[in-house]
């Protein structure tokens, strides 16, 4: 199974958790890692659409790795969906390039499961927050894997970051 990891973080210089997870992904053989801000800066229209589509076509599993900011996708990840998942490629007449592939969302979030609870302040789980990714996956015929969410992922010590890396590294193994 071939895995593509699409990483996005709007403030790479401040990132600890996503950066550690990206590093872990780069250690796994056979995994292609594409960091949207590294490749395209912060320009939500700058994508090399053909290159991105080709990378997705070659993968069986597409992993999206990003931090939760205001209970949402990052701007570059939203731009990626807008620009790369085009009509006629991902959906519409003749467009089924992603059909049958798996989507795996992996996020970090500052808050803990006290906040991400149906009875909590935001009355939403992390799965609820990620509904746009689930809907997008199902809309284009992908299978949607249970998201991997690292909650309370702020100010983590190195040993905890290493734990996150190991969990993510395992998920990226070909058989997973
Ligand atoms: C602008 C901004 C908005 C944030 N919004 C949320 C949020 O809505 N929910 C949450 O749990 N954490 C929120 N956080 C915390 C981040 O999710 C957390 O710092 C990040 O996932 C840790 O990964 P990093 O070290 O790679 O940045 C926010 C952080 C920033 C900077």
Output the six-digit token pair for 82.
Answer: 């807008």
CA distance 90 to 72: 22
Q: What is the pLDDT of residues 2-23, one digit of tens each?
A: 999 999 999 999 999 999 999 9
Mean pLDDT of the chain: 97
CA of residue 45 to ligand 1 center, whole Å: 24
Kindly provide the residue ranges of all beta strands, DSSP E only, lying in 28-151, ordered along the sequence.
Answer: 31-35, 61-67, 102-108, 143-144, 148-150
User: What separation in Å is there between the alpha carbon of 136 and the centre of ligand 1?
Assistant: 22
CB 18 near ligand 1, within 6 Å? yes
Ligand 1 atom closest to Cα of 72? 8
In a domain, 176, yes or no: no
pLDDT greater than 90 at residue 135? yes
**Ligand 1 atom nearest to CA at 9:** 26
Mean pLDDT of 146-164: 98
- The parent domain of residue 150 ranges over 3-171
Beta-bridged to residue 61, according to DSSP, are 3, 102
76: domain CATH number is 3.40.50.360
Q: What is the mean pLDDT of residues 71-98?
A: 97
The answer to whether 10 and 76 have CB atoms below 8 angstroms apart is yes
Q: How far is the CA of 110 from the centre of ligand 1 (A)?
A: 5
Domain count, the chain: 1
| In a domain? residue 102 | yes
């Amino acid at each position: 199974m071939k895995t593509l990891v699409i990483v996005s973080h709007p403030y790479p210089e401040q990132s600890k958790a996503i950066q550690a997870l990206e590093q872990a992904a780069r250690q796994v053989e056979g995994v292609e890692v594409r960091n949207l801000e590294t490749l395209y800066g912060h320009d939500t229209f700058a994508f090399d659409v053909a290159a991105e589509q080709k990378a997705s076509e070659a993968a069986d599993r597409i992993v999206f790795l990003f931090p939760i900011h205001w209970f949402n996708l990052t701007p570059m990840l939203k731009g990626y969906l807008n620009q790369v998942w085009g009509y006629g490629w991902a959906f519409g007449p003749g467009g089924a390039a992603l059909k049958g592939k798996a989507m795996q969302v992996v996020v970090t979030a500052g808050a803990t499961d006290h906040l991400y609870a149906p009875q909590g302040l935001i009355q939403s789980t992390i799965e609820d927050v990620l509904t746009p990714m689930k809907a997008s996956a199902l809309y284009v015929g992908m299978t949607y894997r249970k998201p991997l969410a690292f909650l309370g992922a702020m100010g983590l010590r190195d040993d905890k970051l290493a734990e996150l890396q190991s969990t993510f590294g395992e998920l990226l193994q070909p058989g997973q």
